[in-house]
Amino acid sequence: MDNRKRHSQLVADFVSGYAKGWDMAVKECYRNELDIKYTERKKNKQSFWEWTQGPYFSFAEGHLFYDTPKAYGKWEQAIKVIKIACQITSATPTILDRNTNLIEGIVNFTIYKPDEKLTFLKAVKNYKLSQKEFVNFLKTGVLHD
């Protein structure tokens, strides 16, 4: 991997296990999918480690996100506070091709909202975004029809 393309300005700052300020509750365990890695760096011939950001987003089929960390508690309480959820139905990661061109991955996902009785989540709409656009959606909650 080309470390020169990695930088120290991260797309997410994790606080209490979740991406701080994001619209969707993205857990810290998704660092790898966000291409946030603990990387050895050198400055003045001295080695040090720091979190770095790369362009290779890799969210995959089955990943599920809610708009609140409270969704990960008991379902009877969770369903009362969830406004929106999304689950990835298929995806391809962002990669480099043979000519070292960045090929943007694609994410197909379904948006879910609670039913009227607050007992289950019902599918509302399907979307197809690039991996980068999907990260922006997780961050902002904004989807364009």
Instruction: Write out pLDDT tens, residues 40-62.
Output: 998 899 999 999 999 999 999 99
Q: What is the mean pLDDT of residues 14-32?
A: 97
Q: What is the mean pLDDT of residues 31-37?
A: 97
Examine residue 83 and state whether it is found in any structural domain, yes or no.
yes
The reply to whether 8 falls in a domain is: yes
What is the Cα–Cα distance from 144 to 100, expressed in whole angstroms? 30
Closest CA to 107 of 77, 137, 127, 80: 127
- How much is the average pLDDT of 4-16? 90
pLDDT score, position 3: 42
Q: How far apart are CA 9 and CA 61, in angstroms?
A: 27
Please tell me the predicted confidence (pLDDT) of residue 130: 97
| Buried-exposed string 16-45: b where 16+ CB fall within 10 A, e elsewhere | eebbeebbbbbeeebbebbbbbebeeeeee
pLDDT, greater one: 7 or 144: 7
Higher pLDDT, 5 or 121: 121
In a domain, 35, yes or no: yes
Cβ 130 vs Cβ 106: under 8 Å: yes
Q: 145 in a domain, yes or no?
A: no
Count CB neighbours of 97 within 10 A. 8
The total domain count for the chain is 1
Residue 136 lies in a domain: yes
Residues spanned by the domain of 105: 3-140
Q: How many helices (H) and strands (E) does the chain have?
A: 2, 10
pLDDT in the model for residue 45: 92
